[in-house]
Amino acid sequence: MDDSIARLVDRARRHEHEAFAELLTFSLPMARALCSRLLPDGGDVDDVLQEACLQAWLGLDGLQRPERFRQWLTGIALNLARMRARAWRPRLPLESSLGDAIDSVEAVIEAEELRRDVNEAVGGLPDSARSTVAAFYFDGRSLPEISADTGTPVGTLKARLSRARQTLRSALVARPSAPAEIPDMIEVIVQAVLTQEPPTDPARPVRVLVLAEKAGARVLPIWIGRVEGDFLALQLSGQAPPRPLTLNLLAQILSITGMTLEQVAINRLHDEVFYATLALTVGGQPQSVDARPSDAVNLAMLKGVPIFVAAEILESQGMASDALGSHLTAQAPPEPMTWVPAVPPEWQKAK
């Protein structure tokens, strides 16, 4: 069965509409049954399934596992059904979270924007193509059935659908995608860069970046490299290096090329490694670039832009200021030591 479904998908990708009709015949019963659990109105279910079929047709080339077409189509239909269900959800009680309300509004807006774009794209087709698209995709009728009703040869109908598909693909692929979900962010400032005194390993001195919640009492320690830590310590002290360093050069390149650094965010923690992103504006368009937290924070300090940390990271890794010393000591060998501000000796001499 999987092989036959994959072959039908392959034929449908070659614009064989009968193959796509067979896929729908096989797949729609499950999608209808599941969507009916979310949408009690049969008319709403029909609308959702019609839209899901169109999205599946237009996105068929992107299906990674053709043998799972039924599950894929059902997933598309369920997402659309959830959006529609949230659109008609009764007014939220006072005790409901504001976050749920915001999510519902965003889902409704996205669903309505997609519906508007699809309707506009279909409405822009010639009359003959529009009626053929509606009969084939929305009503689920086969080409022989449409031919029998309209007296139009099947070959002509195929040509109309092929041209319409290209037109719709061009119109809808150009549609801007919804932005990725952005985690809750908390603004922080650079409080200090610390080092061990005496160092555990003089050949590899430790640097710890301490970020402090701007409107709260928590701090977040991040272990970073010596060079990056010393450059941050230099910036905190108000000094300048004896000659421009790599991060100075990068900041100048951003300015010369017209790129604007808007903010930086430490937004992910995986296997005890922190990850950050730079939010840039390039040619008037927003761009996101991955970076190490130490580089991102240094650039933010150089350019004077805000620094954010994902709320979930601050919740799991943050601590009260008075707990910082014991936390850092627990991360290092138990020899007697203190944690002091890091100030690079060679830069002190160059002052």
Of 144, 173, 202, the last residue of a domain is 173
DSSP letter string over 53-104?
HHHHHHTGGG-S-GGGHHHHHHHHHHHHHHHHHHHTPPPPPTTS-HHHHHHH
Task: Report pLDDT for 218.
Answer: 93
Is residue 180 assigned to a domain? Answer: no
100 and 54 together in one domain:
yes
212 and 167 together in one domain:
no
The Cα 128–Cα 181 span in angstroms is 40
Is residue 108 assigned to a domain? Answer: yes
Residues of the chain with pLDDT under 70: 1-3, 86-120, 137-140, 168-183, 198-205, 242-243, 331-340, 342-351
- Domain with residue 345: its CATH number is 3.10.690.10
- Identity of the amino acid at 101: A
The Cα 24–Cα 334 span in angstroms is 67
The Cα 5–Cα 27 span in angstroms is 10
Given a contact cutoff of 8 angstroms between Cβ atoms, the answer to whether 272 and 257 are in contact is no
56 and 131 together in one domain:
yes
156 and 201 together in one domain:
no
Of 141, 173, 205, the last residue of a domain is 173
273 and 250 together in one domain:
yes
The SS3 of residue 335 is coil
List 208's β-bridge partners, or say none: 194, 223
Task: Report pLDDT for 219.
Answer: 94
- Domain with residue 92: its CATH number is 1.10.10.10
236 and 160 together in one domain:
no
Of 147, 173, 199, the last residue of a domain is 173
120 and 231 together in one domain:
no
The SS3 of residue 30 is helix
Is residue 203 assigned to a domain? Answer: yes
CA 304 to chain centre: 26
Overall domain count for the chain: 2
Given a contact cutoff of 8 angstroms between Cβ atoms, the answer to whether 60 and 9 are in contact is yes
Is residue 336 assigned to a domain? Answer: yes
Phi-psi region of 252 (alpha: psi -120 to 50; beta: other; left: phi over 0): alpha
Is residue 310 assigned to a domain? Answer: yes
50 and 21 together in one domain:
yes
The Cα 234–Cα 345 span in angstroms is 10
Task: Report pLDDT for 173.
Answer: 53
Given a contact cutoff of 8 angstroms between Cβ atoms, the answer to whether 143 and 135 are in contact is no
Q: What angle do CA 201, 203, 207 make, to 5 degrees?
A: 70
Is residue 315 assigned to a domain? Answer: yes
The secondary structure of the chain in percent helix, strand, coil, rounded to multiples of 5, reads 55, 20, 25
Task: Report pLDDT for 321.
Answer: 86
148 and 65 together in one domain:
yes
The residue among 51, 69, 55 whose CA lies nearest residue 11 is: 69
278 and 240 together in one domain:
yes
Is residue 120 assigned to a domain? Answer: yes
Query: Domain range holding 97?
Result: 2-173
Task: Report pLDDT for 349.
Answer: 45
Q: Whole-angstrom distance between the N-terminal and C-terminal Cα of the chain?
A: 76
161 and 191 together in one domain:
no
28 and 156 together in one domain:
yes
Task: Report pLDDT for 100.
Answer: 40
Is residue 148 assigned to a domain? Answer: yes
